[in-house]
Amino acid sequence: MAGTHKYDVAIVGGGIIGTAILYVLSNYTDAKRLVLVERRSAAAELNSDGKSNSQTLHFGDVETNYTEAKAKRTNDAARLVLRYCENTGAHAGKIIRRCQKLLLAVGEEEIEYADRWYGSFAHGLYGGLEKLRLDYVKEIEPNLIRGRKAAERIEVYRSNTGYMVDYGKLADSFIRRSKYASRRRGTCVDVLFDTEIGSVEEDGDEYVLRSGSAKIECKAAVFAAGAYSLLFAKRLGLADNLSIIATGGGFFKSRRVLNGKVYRVQLGKMPFAAVHGDPDMNNSTITRFGPVIYLPIGLEKGRPKPIDYVKTSGAAIMPVSLKILSKYGLFGLISRHMSYHMPLIGKKLFLNNEVRKIVPALEYSDISPAKGYGGISPRIVDRKKMTLNIGEERIRKDNAVFDISPSPGASSSLAIARSDAAYISSRLGIDFDKERFDRELGH
């Protein structure tokens, strides 16, 4: 690609968020020329890839650290993805699959916490969430019970919204249906892989994105490039108060020992998921356990560029990070998880501290690091307020949008896309058919 190319909207980032935005703009607005630009050779090769995440469609019904408001938002957003997958017919089996999903509380503190959470709002919000008898748990998920000490009390809830999703295939589906819509409507949808945006600048009422000798001129720009979205915002002089603490999440694996997903109770407002057990949608012979948290000096998996981290978060990111971790009481959690990455003793510690809370009978030789699995998720820090945002962050100015969407951003992809499409449409004076969107994807 060389020369100058003009579009109504340019989307930077070909993961699940960027492709969802492309889908909504191409199908539900009258934008005439759209382009999606991705640095890699295919869509969803980073955090949206099946090996980089737990492949869960998050409704908030096993996330006990969510407030009622966040749980409701997550539930509503996930149902958009579910409806889309149902509407895709023959493609749906490759994208989404039902599975058993349980919430496990271990010990008195977790049981009391889960009971309060369930009674306060979860029971009313999630009508299909039920507490199970342990004799029934032994039938449907026997390895939760086998080998467990009689003195160790547990409590188990079952959700009726258990789904595995291959978000990489979902992103491909969004692109495919965007191109189909453009052919049907006589509009333009370009998807450019192997194209890295090196700079962005404002030029009057337009934005100019440059990639090598190519120049993209657009009326509106949406950046859905993970942590790099914040870097692009800063290049336009925005979000000076925001920084990122990049958190990596890896996995261990075993032979298949669980029939479905088993999530652990998360106490308080913990910004990280407790270690859980998951089947693998693309490998039915294994069970994965994670996330195993670490703190990388980089914004993307496989791209160790500390200079980009410093440009995004500022030279003072280390002392800021230490203050934030201290304020939120995360030092113990981070230290424990960092020990799981240590040679020789890390696997034993992870087995004893985490895995055996879920599957008590597993032995040291049964688990191993899942090489090639895991990803990097951006956690947003407001340096002025000294707060840590556990959800997505959206920065908007004029005709530019910058989306930073850590987990469960993939589950909220269509809700994020709906919001961005509404904003961009209002800015450009084009029509967004929200009524049809809600009719086709709402509930």
91, pLDDT greater than 70: no
141, pLDDT greater than 80: yes
Least confident stretch, 17-21, 315-319, 416-420: 315-319
Q: Is the separation of the CB atoms in 212 and 198 below 8 Å?
A: yes
The pLDDT assigned to 21 comes to 98
DSSP string computed for 213-277: TEEEEEEEEEE--TTHHHHHHHHTT--TTEEEEEEEEEEEEEES--SSEEEEP--TT-SSPPPEE
Structure confidence at residue 92 as a pLDDT band (50, 70, 90)? low
What's the rounded mean pLDDT across residues 283-293?
96
Least confident stretch, 110-119, 153-162, 276-285, 292-301: 292-301
Q: What percent helix, strand, coil does the chain show, rounded to 5?
A: 35, 30, 35
Please give the Cα distance from 180 to 16 (Å, whole number).
18
Q: Is the separation of the CB atoms in 409 and 46 below 8 Å?
A: no
The pLDDT assigned to 124 comes to 95
Task: Return the CA Rg of the chain.
Answer: 22
Q: Is the separation of the CB atoms in 409 and 48 below 8 Å?
A: no
What's the rounded mean pLDDT across residues 301-328?
80
Q: Specify the higher pLDDT residue, 305 or 45.
A: 45
Count H helices, E strands: the chain? 15, 20
DSSP string computed for 285-308: EEEEEEEEEE--SSSBTTB--HHH
The tokens of 253 are what? 């694996």
> Of all residues in the chain, what percent carry a pLDDT higher than 90?
76
Q: Is the separation of the CB atoms in 279 and 99 below 8 Å?
A: yes
Over residues 34-74, the pLDDT tens digits come to 999 999 999 998 888 889 899 999 999 999 999 999 999 99
What's the rounded mean pLDDT across residues 362-366?
97
Please give the Cα distance from 110 to 291 (Å, whole number).
19
Please give the Cα distance from 281 to 287 (Å, whole number).
10
Structure confidence at residue 443 as a pLDDT band (50, 70, 90)? low
Q: Is the separation of the CB atoms in 259 and 164 below 8 Å?
A: no
Rounded to two decimals, the pTM is 0.95
Nearest to 57 by CA among 419, 417, 409: 409
The pLDDT assigned to 395 comes to 96
What's the rounded mean pLDDT across residues 121-128?
95
2, pLDDT greater than 80: no
One-letter amino acid identity for 82?
L
What's the rounded mean pLDDT across residues 129-142?
97
Please give the Cα distance from 129 to 169 (Å, whole number).
28
Task: Find out if CATH 3.50.50.60 is the number for domain 3-441.
Answer: yes
Considering all CA atoms of the chain, what is the largest pairwise distance in Å, rounded to the nearest integer? 71
273, pLDDT greater than 60: yes
Q: How crowded is residue 285: how many other Cβ atoms within 10 Å of its Cβ?
A: 9
On average, the pLDDT of the chain sits at 93
Domain boundaries, the chain: 3-441
Structure confidence at residue 301 as a pLDDT band (50, 70, 90)? confident
The pLDDT assigned to 93 comes to 66
Structure confidence at residue 305 as a pLDDT band (50, 70, 90)? confident
304, pLDDT greater than 80: no
